[in-house]
Amino acid sequence: MGVITYDFEVTSPISPARLFKALVLEGDKVYPRAAPHAIKSVELQEDGKLGSIVKINFVEGLPFQYVKHKIEGHDKDNFSYNYSLIEGGPLGDKIEKISYENKFVAAADGESVCKSLMKFYTVGDYVITEDEIKAHIGRTEGVYKAIETYLLANPHVCN
Protein backbone atom coordinates (compact mmCIF):
# COMPACT_ATOMS: atom_id res chain seq x y z
CA MET A 1 0.00 0.00 0.00
CA GLY A 2 1.20 3.48 -0.87
CA VAL A 3 0.07 6.85 0.41
CA ILE A 4 -0.09 9.86 -1.88
CA THR A 5 -0.66 13.25 -0.23
CA TYR A 6 -2.19 16.21 -2.02
CA ASP A 7 -2.97 19.73 -0.72
CA PHE A 8 -5.48 22.11 -2.25
CA GLU A 9 -7.44 25.21 -1.32
CA VAL A 10 -10.82 26.58 -2.35
CA THR A 11 -11.89 30.16 -1.69
CA SER A 12 -15.47 31.16 -1.01
CA PRO A 13 -17.45 34.35 -0.41
CA ILE A 14 -19.22 32.49 2.45
CA SER A 15 -17.94 32.83 6.03
CA PRO A 16 -16.11 29.88 7.62
CA ALA A 17 -18.82 29.41 10.27
CA ARG A 18 -21.64 29.25 7.73
CA LEU A 19 -19.75 26.94 5.36
CA PHE A 20 -18.84 24.62 8.22
CA LYS A 21 -22.45 24.49 9.34
CA ALA A 22 -23.72 23.77 5.81
CA LEU A 23 -21.07 21.22 4.86
CA VAL A 24 -20.62 19.45 8.19
CA LEU A 25 -23.28 20.09 10.80
CA GLU A 26 -26.31 20.26 8.49
CA GLY A 27 -24.91 18.51 5.41
CA ASP A 28 -27.60 15.83 5.48
CA LYS A 29 -30.22 18.54 4.82
CA VAL A 30 -28.19 20.96 2.70
CA TYR A 31 -26.48 18.63 0.19
CA PRO A 32 -29.67 17.29 -1.49
CA ARG A 33 -31.20 20.80 -1.64
CA ALA A 34 -28.04 22.44 -2.99
CA ALA A 35 -27.14 19.74 -5.52
CA PRO A 36 -30.36 17.90 -6.47
CA HIS A 37 -28.82 17.19 -9.89
CA ALA A 38 -26.20 15.02 -8.17
CA ILE A 39 -27.24 14.08 -4.63
CA LYS A 40 -30.41 12.15 -3.92
CA SER A 41 -30.02 11.83 -0.15
CA VAL A 42 -27.61 11.80 2.78
CA GLU A 43 -27.94 9.21 5.54
CA LEU A 44 -26.25 9.70 8.87
CA GLN A 45 -25.64 6.32 10.47
CA GLU A 46 -25.27 6.56 14.25
CA ASP A 47 -25.05 9.96 15.95
CA GLY A 48 -22.66 12.00 13.81
CA LYS A 49 -19.84 11.78 16.30
CA LEU A 50 -16.38 10.25 15.87
CA GLY A 51 -16.58 6.95 13.99
CA SER A 52 -20.05 7.55 12.55
CA ILE A 53 -20.75 6.73 8.91
CA VAL A 54 -22.27 9.18 6.43
CA LYS A 55 -23.71 7.68 3.25
CA ILE A 56 -24.27 10.01 0.31
CA ASN A 57 -26.58 8.57 -2.36
CA PHE A 58 -26.27 9.98 -5.87
CA VAL A 59 -28.98 10.38 -8.50
CA GLU A 60 -29.24 7.87 -11.33
CA GLY A 61 -27.03 8.49 -14.32
CA LEU A 62 -23.90 9.52 -12.43
CA PRO A 63 -20.78 7.34 -12.50
CA PHE A 64 -21.21 6.37 -8.83
CA GLN A 65 -24.26 5.22 -6.87
CA TYR A 66 -23.01 6.29 -3.44
CA VAL A 67 -20.05 6.99 -1.17
CA LYS A 68 -19.57 6.28 2.51
CA HIS A 69 -17.53 8.56 4.73
CA LYS A 70 -16.27 7.71 8.20
CA ILE A 71 -16.07 10.71 10.52
CA GLU A 72 -12.56 10.88 11.94
CA GLY A 73 -13.11 14.09 13.90
CA HIS A 74 -14.46 17.60 13.83
CA ASP A 75 -13.95 20.76 15.81
CA LYS A 76 -16.81 23.21 15.45
CA ASP A 77 -14.93 25.93 17.32
CA ASN A 78 -12.03 25.84 14.83
CA PHE A 79 -14.12 24.85 11.77
CA SER A 80 -12.16 21.70 11.03
CA TYR A 81 -13.49 18.37 9.80
CA ASN A 82 -11.64 15.13 9.14
CA TYR A 83 -13.15 12.10 7.45
CA SER A 84 -12.26 9.16 5.24
CA LEU A 85 -13.98 7.96 2.10
CA ILE A 86 -14.20 4.24 2.89
CA GLU A 87 -16.65 2.79 0.38
CA GLY A 88 -18.16 3.47 -3.03
CA GLY A 89 -17.39 6.23 -5.47
CA PRO A 90 -13.90 6.25 -6.96
CA LEU A 91 -12.38 3.64 -4.65
CA GLY A 92 -12.77 0.51 -6.75
CA ASP A 93 -9.97 -2.03 -6.48
CA LYS A 94 -7.03 0.41 -6.71
CA ILE A 95 -7.70 2.83 -3.85
CA GLU A 96 -8.36 1.54 -0.33
CA LYS A 97 -9.52 4.88 1.09
CA ILE A 98 -9.11 8.63 0.78
CA SER A 99 -8.65 10.66 3.96
CA TYR A 100 -9.46 14.36 4.15
CA GLU A 101 -8.37 16.98 6.65
CA ASN A 102 -10.36 20.17 6.05
CA LYS A 103 -10.14 23.51 7.80
CA PHE A 104 -12.21 26.59 7.01
CA VAL A 105 -10.31 29.80 7.76
CA ALA A 106 -11.32 33.45 7.54
CA ALA A 107 -10.16 35.51 4.59
CA ALA A 108 -10.69 39.14 3.62
CA ASP A 109 -14.15 40.73 3.73
CA GLY A 110 -15.91 37.83 5.50
CA GLU A 111 -14.83 35.31 2.90
CA SER A 112 -13.15 32.00 3.67
CA VAL A 113 -10.60 29.53 2.44
CA CYS A 114 -11.08 25.79 2.76
CA LYS A 115 -7.65 24.23 3.19
CA SER A 116 -7.68 20.52 2.43
CA LEU A 117 -5.12 17.79 2.80
CA MET A 118 -6.05 14.60 0.97
CA LYS A 119 -4.32 11.26 1.44
CA PHE A 120 -4.91 8.56 -1.14
CA TYR A 121 -4.21 5.07 0.24
CA THR A 122 -3.57 2.88 -2.77
CA VAL A 123 -3.80 -0.91 -3.03
CA GLY A 124 -0.60 -2.83 -3.70
CA ASP A 125 1.89 -0.98 -5.85
CA TYR A 126 -0.72 1.07 -7.69
CA VAL A 127 0.32 4.70 -8.26
CA ILE A 128 -2.51 7.20 -8.63
CA THR A 129 -1.99 9.71 -11.43
CA GLU A 130 -2.19 13.48 -11.26
CA ASP A 131 -5.16 13.35 -13.66
CA GLU A 132 -7.06 10.97 -11.35
CA ILE A 133 -6.41 13.26 -8.39
CA LYS A 134 -7.55 16.32 -10.36
CA ALA A 135 -10.71 14.50 -11.51
CA HIS A 136 -11.52 13.61 -7.90
CA ILE A 137 -10.93 17.18 -6.76
CA GLY A 138 -13.11 18.43 -9.63
CA ARG A 139 -16.04 16.29 -8.46
CA THR A 140 -15.53 17.45 -4.87
CA GLU A 141 -15.35 21.10 -5.91
CA GLY A 142 -18.51 20.68 -7.99
CA VAL A 143 -20.54 19.79 -4.91
CA TYR A 144 -18.75 22.46 -2.84
CA LYS A 145 -19.58 25.16 -5.40
CA ALA A 146 -23.21 23.99 -5.64
CA ILE A 147 -23.54 24.39 -1.87
CA GLU A 148 -21.88 27.80 -2.04
CA THR A 149 -24.34 28.89 -4.76
CA TYR A 150 -27.26 27.58 -2.69
CA LEU A 151 -26.10 29.51 0.39
CA LEU A 152 -25.68 32.72 -1.62
CA ALA A 153 -29.22 32.35 -3.03
CA ASN A 154 -30.64 31.49 0.42
CA PRO A 155 -29.08 33.88 2.96
CA HIS A 156 -31.32 32.58 5.77
CA VAL A 157 -29.92 29.03 5.53
CA CYS A 158 -27.21 27.94 8.04
CA ASN A 159 -26.88 31.22 9.87
| Average pLDDT per consecutive 10 residues, the chain (159 residues; last block may be shorter) | 90 95 93 94 85 94 93 94 94 93 94 95 92 87 91 96
| β-pair partners for 69 | 54, 85
What pLDDT score does 18 carry?
A: 96
> Are 32 and 143 within 8 A, CB to CB?
no
Taking the domains of the chain in order of start, what are their residue ranges?
Answer: 2-153
> Are 42 and 55 within 8 A, CB to CB?
yes
Kindly report the pTM of this predicted structure.
Answer: 0.89
Work out the angle at residue 101's Cα, subtended by the Cα atoms of residues 95 and 148, and round it to the nearest 5 degrees.
100
CATH no. for 2-153: 3.30.530.20
Determine the Cα–Cα distance for residues 88 and 65; give it in Å rounded to an integer.
Answer: 7
Determine the Cα–Cα distance for residues 22 and 4; give it in Å rounded to an integer.
Answer: 28
